[in-house]
Amino acid sequence: MDELLKAASSGKSHTLAVACAQDPEVLRAVWTARKAGMAEAVLVGDEARIRALAETSQLSLDDFSIVHEPDETLACRKAVSLIRKGKADALMKGAVPTAVVMRAALDRSEGLRRGSLLSHVAFLDLPRLGRPLLLTDAALNIAPGLEEKKKILANAVRVAHGLGNPSPVVACLCAVEKLNPKMPATVDAAALTEAWRQGKITGCQVFGPAALDNALFPAAARRKGMEGPLAGCADILLVPNIEAGNMLYKALAFVARAGAAGVVAGAQAPVILASRADSRETLMHSIALALVSMEANTTGECKDEKGAGIEFWFHLHQARALCGGQADSA
């Protein structure tokens, strides 16, 4: 995860709009991000509480702009407005329920919609695997259908592009790796794979249905009779529903102790949803993820030249080269 932080610090300067910034961990994260040269921040919320928390945590706010707004709904709207006016580049949730900040972000006239579905993309760093993983959607879309899954997939692919992977491999996760009409997830997975083969899904490579083991490890895929260069080499795990995604994310982050970060993609700007369970490190990593993936998240394009994201993805893990070797030891 240090490479992710380094990549975020090496890019151009950005500004975060923090909605309801009166949260001690969020304040410390944005203060640390500014000190590291990652981003400036505009703190929107109850100014007295913000300053009191900063004083308790021994954080100087001399270099931060503060917009006083004690009402949480109005604070979220003002944070979103900063982005719409070009005064900030990404939205970060503070001490406010997710539903409130997302309502402001999704407002049809004053929000950050751009005609696409919003979805959560988690970044997971598992050293034993030998490559970074993106997991989607573990937080926003409850039971997406086929068309929603296409949009969720596209959002994750744009994040991967921003991280420097121009053609990520997407595994459509299911409980089994064979099409079963009684298991709707396998039907959707097969349809997504066929859509990619027909050129209707671009910017990535898609395979599925795939169980978790044969999505990540080529040796496991071979044992199941799955052939081809994609099996076992997933960069993006597309889960069938929020229950599967949420449990998988928490198992990897808390049990397997993976380095973790998350961002909401598909809006005019990245949205960082800080959870009360997130550590300071996870918040920092999420800020870095939003910044590194920002170019593709806002334009939908993957640049050809080697920028911070390109160097990050391939220098850190060289995913294709490591894929087979890691799998054989699984």
Kindly list the domain boundaries of the chain, sorted by start residue.
12-114+267-276, 122-261+300-330
Q: Judging by DSSP bridges, how do beta strands 39-45 and 14-19 pair with one another?
A: parallel
Averaged pLDDT for residues 243-251: 95
pLDDT: is 252 or 280 the higher one?
A: 252
pLDDT digits (tens, 9 = 90+) for 45-89: 999 999 999 999 999 999 999 999 999 999 999 999 999 999 999
Task: Evaluate if residue 143 carries a pLDDT over 60.
Answer: yes
Residue for token pair 């993805």: 313
Which residues are within 8 A (CB) of 242 and not within 5 positions of it... i.e. 6 or more apart? 137, 138, 139, 140, 141, 142, 143
Q: Is 39 left (phi over 0), alpha (psi -120 to 50) or beta?
A: beta
- The whole-number pLDDT of residue 330 equals 46
Task: Evaluate if residue 172 carries a pLDDT over 50.
Answer: yes
- The whole-number pLDDT of residue 328 equals 44
Fold identical between 12-114+267-276 and 122-261+300-330?
A: yes
- The whole-number pLDDT of residue 3 equals 79
Q: Which two three-digit tokens encode residue 229? A: 């260069």
Look at residues 257, 212, 90 and name the one whose alpha carbon lies nearest to residue 162.
90
Q: How confident is the model at residue 284 (pLDDT cuts 50, 70, 90)?
A: very high
Task: Evaluate if residue 26 carries a pLDDT over 80.
Answer: yes
Based on the number of CB atoms within 10 Å of its own CB, is 10 exposed (0-12), middle (13-18) or buried (19 or more)?
middle
Give the Cα-Cα-Cα angle 127, 133, 139 (nearest 5 degrees): 125
User: Radius of gyration (Cα) for the chain, nearest Å?
Assistant: 20
Per DSSP, the three-state class of 96 is coil
- The whole-number pLDDT of residue 295 equals 56
What's the topology of domain 122-261+300-330?
Answer: Isopropylmalate Dehydrogenase (3.40.718)
Q: How confident is the model at residue 228 (pLDDT cuts 50, 70, 90)?
A: confident
* CATH code reported for the domain at 12-114+267-276: 3.40.718.10
Task: Evaluate if residue 325 carries a pLDDT over 70.
Answer: no
pLDDT: is 27 or 13 the higher one?
A: 27
- The whole-number pLDDT of residue 315 equals 46
- The whole-number pLDDT of residue 12 equals 74
Look at residues 245, 181, 248 and name the one whose alpha carbon lies nearest to residue 209.
181
Task: Evaluate if residue 254 carries a pLDDT over 80.
Answer: yes
- The whole-number pLDDT of residue 312 equals 54
Task: Evaluate if residue 255 carries a pLDDT over 80.
Answer: yes
Task: Evaluate if residue 207 carries a pLDDT over 70.
Answer: yes
Averaged pLDDT for residues 281-310: 66
- The whole-number pLDDT of residue 23 equals 94
Task: Evaluate if residue 269 carries a pLDDT over 70.
Answer: yes
Q: How confident is the model at residue 311 (pLDDT cuts 50, 70, 90)?
A: low
